[in-house]
Structure 1
Amino acid sequence: MTRTARLYALVEELRAAAPRPLTVAALATRFEVGTRTVQRDLQALMRGGVPVRSIPGRGGGWSIDREMTLPPIHFTADEALALTAALASADAATPYAGAARTAAQKIIASMAGPASAAAQELAARIVTLPTHGDSAVRKAVERAVADNSVLRLSYTDAAGHQSDRIVEPAGLLTADGRWYLIAWCRTRRAGRGFRLDRIAAAAPTGEQARHHDLTELLLGSAAAGAVQPTALAPLTPPPCATPQPESSPT
C-alpha cells in the first residue's frame, strides 16, 4: 500500500470507529506498519487540515470528527481533471480560495499513475494574475456566510463614500470577475450587495443572523438575471419545477 493510499485508509478507519478512539498500536497492526509510521501519518493528516485529534489517558487514542469529514467519493479521471482545473484557477480574492487549494492538492494526491501526473501537469499550466484583496476581510466574510453570523463592515461605495454597516449575510454573488457579499443591511433596512474589494474591514459581532432568502434579496435589482452555477445543479433533476434564478441588489 502506498503512503497516499494509507493516509486515506487511516481516515476511513477512524471514521468507521468514531467516536471511539483507536490506538496507534491498533492502527499499526491494521495496516502492517510500525507505530512510528502511523504517528507520522497522523501528524501529516493534522497538518493537512483533516480533523483528527489525539485523546490522552487510559482509553484514549486517535479519533476523527465525522461531522467534519466526507465519505470517499470516486471521481472519473476526467472529473478529477476538471475539478483540479477549476480549483487551481481560484485566486487569492476568491472566497474559500484556501480550501479550494487544499482540495485540489487532495484530489491530485488521491490519484495514481498517469492520472496523477496529468492532473499535476494541468494544474501547472493554469496561472492567475495576483490580486490585492484583504485576506482578513475575505476570511471574515467566508466565515459569516458559512455560519450565518452578523458582520460589522467598514465599506466604501462606488462614489468613494465610506460608511459603517451591520449586515446579515445571505450569500455571495460573482459578476464580471468581481465578488459581492449579498446581505440584509440593518442600516439601510434593505438588501444590499457589498463588493468584497471595497470592504475596508469586516468583524464578527458574535450574533447569529436571521435567515434571509437570497432570491428575495436579489429580486428587482441590477442582477435580476443571476443564476446558480450549472455545476451545482443536481445530477438527477427533481420532478418539481426549477425555482426562478436569483438577482442581486445594488
Structure 2
Amino acid sequence: MNRTDRLYALVEELRAVAPRPRSARWLAGHFEVSVRTVERDINALQQSGVPVYAEPGRTGGYCLDKARTLPPVNLTPGEAVAMAVALRQLEGTPFRGPAGSALRKLVAAMQGDDAAAARDLAGRIHLLGDAGTMPSVPRLVADALSSPRVLRIGYGDREGAATLREIEPLGYVGTATHWYLVAWCRLRDAVRAFRTDRISAVTITAEVPPPRALRGEDLDIPYGTVRQLTLS
C-alpha cells in the first residue's frame, strides 16, 4: 500500500471506530508498518487539517472527530467528468483555482475503479476552441476575499491612466465578459469596482482591513440585474 492510500485508509479506520481511539501500535500492526511511520502519517494528517487528536492514558490512542469530517464521496465517473466540463466555464474567474483543487480532492476520494473510469471517460472528451473568453484573474486578486488584507494595486482606467491604489476588498461582480473586484478605495474614499484585467500589479500588505458590509446600494449598477450567488 502506498502512502497516499494508507493515509486515506487511516482516516477511514479512525472514522469507523470513532469516538473510540486506536493506538499507534495497533495501527502499525494493521497496516504492516512501524509505529514511527504511523506517527509520521498522523502528523501529516493533522498538518493537512484532518481533525485527529491523541487521547492519553493506557487505553488511549488516536481519535477522529467524526462531527468535523465527511464520509467518503461516491461520485460516479459521469458526475466527475460533468464537473470537469463545468469547470471550463470558470476560466478567467476568481474561482478557477479553488474549483480545480476541489475536483482533484473529490477524484482522490473516489473508489479506485471509479477514478480510473472517470479518467478514461475524460480522455475521450474533446472541447473545440479556447476554454474561455475572459482574461485570467491574478492569483492574489482571486484570493482577496479568502485572506482579507489591504491590497496595493496598480490600476489603469478606461483612458489608460495608471494610478496606485490601496483598497479593502469587499466582493466580486461577474458579467458575461469581465470580472470586477469591488473594494473600498482609500484614494477615492468610497466603494469602487475594479475590472480585474486592468489591475497591472498586486501587493498584499500586512494590514487587516476594518469590517465593512457590502450593501445593495454599493452595487447600484445602471444596467442588468445583479443576483447574489447562493449554494442551494
AA aligned to 1:95 is: P
Contact 1:85 1:122 survives alignment (8 Å): no
Give distance in 2, aligned partners of 1:195 and 1:162.
Answer: 13
1:150 counterpart letter in structure 2: V
Question: More deviation in 73-82 or 97-106?
Answer: 73-82
- 3-state SS, counterpart of residue 145 of structure 2: helix
2:148–2:169 contact (8 Å) kept in structure 1: yes
Return the offset for 1:223: 5.9
For residue 149 of structure 1, what is the aligned residue in structure 2?
Answer: 149
Residues 11-90 of structure 1 aligned to structure 2 (within 5 Å) = 11=11, 27-29=27-29, 31-35=30-34, 42=41, 50-51=48-49, 70-72=69-71, 74-77=73-76, 79-87=79-87, 90=90
Offset at residue 203 of structure 1 (A):
0.9
- 1:216 and 1:158 map into 2 onto residues whose CA distance is 25
In the other structure, the counterpart of 2:108 is 109
Cα offset for 1:155? 0.5
C-alpha contact (below 8 Å) 2:191/2:218 kept by paired residues: yes
1:201 aligns with: 201
What's the CA shift for 1:153? 0.9
* CA distances 1:70-126 after superposition (whole Å, capped 9, x unpaired): 5336355365444333346544x4324333223222222222366424432454436
Distance between the aligned counterparts of 2:41 and 2:86, measured in 1?
29
Q: Which has the larger radius of gyration?
A: 2
Alignment deviations for residues 176-197 of structure 1 (CA, whole Å, 9 cap, x no partner): 1422211111211222111222
CA contact (8 A) 1:84 1:119 kept: no
Q: Which residue of 2 aligns with 1:119?
A: 118
Structure 2 segments unaligned to the other structure (5+ residues): 51-61
Matched, 1:97 2:96: yes
Which TM-score applies when normalising by structure 2?
Answer: 0.66
Show CA shifts across 1:144-189 (max 9, x none).
Answer: 3112221111101222111111111111222114222111112112
Contact 2:94 2:143 (8 Å CA) reproduced: no
Structure 1 contact 144–169 (Cα < 8 Å) conserved: yes
The Cα shift of 1:38 comes to 5.3
CA contact (8 A) 2:73 2:106 kept: no
Asked whether the 8 Å contact 1:169–1:183 carries over to 2, the reply is: yes
Aligned partner of 1:242 in structure 2 is none
> Which whole-Å CA distance do the structure 2 matches of 1:150 and 1:16 have between them?
44
Q: Which residue of 2 aligns with 1:233?
A: 231
Correspondence for 1:172: 172
Q: CA deviation at 1:141?
A: 1.9
Task: Give the SS at the match of 1:221.
Answer: coil
Deviates more, 1:103-112 or 1:183-192: 103-112
Give the aligned residue type for 1:169.
Answer: P
How many residues align structurally? Answer: 215
Partners of 2:122 and 2:89 lie apart in 1 by 8
**Which residue does the alignment assign to 2:54?**
none
Return the alpha-carbon distance in structure 2 between the equivalents of residues 126 and 24 of structure 1: 47
Q: What one-letter code is carried by the residue in structure 1 that aligns with 2:48? A: V
Q: Secondary structure at the match of 2:210?
A: coil
CA RMSD of aligned residues (A): 4.5
Where does structure 1 lack aligned partners over 5 or more consecutive residues? 53-62, 235-250
Q: Distance in 2 between matches of 1:167 and 1:76?
A: 41
Contact 2:74 2:111 in 1 (8 A): no
Amino acid at match of 1:100: A
Letter paired with 2:10:
L
**Partners of 2:176 and 2:160 in 1: CA distance:** 20
- SS of 1:206 mapped into structure 2: coil
